[in-house]
Amino acid sequence: MIDILIYHLHVVGVLYAFTLRWQKEGVKSGVLAVATCVLVMIFLWAITGTIARALIPNSQPGALFTADTLSLLLLLIPEYFFFRAFFLRSHTTAERDA
């Protein structure tokens, strides 16, 4: 259940990134933002999955907190900083001053 909530957070974040870039720069930039978010998630999930499996080697399939849940929770930490740097902050001084 926790996994599904984290997946939904990712979907909302990707939709936000797409909408933000689409409104400012067009559809092509929105699709590029989605592709960037997906690639970052894939690469970081591979790293955090390895760490989580080292910490929780044998997790029960029906358990509420498994190694996959831990890897997704660990994934949220670097993704938060990535998302904040690329989508939540304005990059030019003209946008910040306006």
The pLDDT assigned to 42 comes to 94
How much of the chain is helix, strand and coil, in % rounded to 5? Answer: 80, 0, 20
Say if 83 falls within a structural domain: yes
Average pLDDT along the chain, 98 residues, taken 10 residues at a time: 89 93 92 94 94 85 82 93 85 54
Say if 19 falls within a structural domain: no
The pLDDT assigned to 1 comes to 78
Say if 3 falls within a structural domain: no
The pLDDT assigned to 58 comes to 81
- What is the spatial distance between Cα 36 and Cα 64, in angstroms, rounded to a whole number? 30
Say if 68 falls within a structural domain: yes
The pLDDT assigned to 50 comes to 93
Say if 85 falls within a structural domain: yes
Sign for the CA dihedral angle at 87, 82, 38, 41 comes to: negative
Say if 79 falls within a structural domain: yes
pTM: 0.78
Say if 78 falls within a structural domain: yes
The total number of structural domains in the chain stands at 1
Q: Look up the domain containing 77 and give its range.
A: 38-90
Say if 18 falls within a structural domain: no
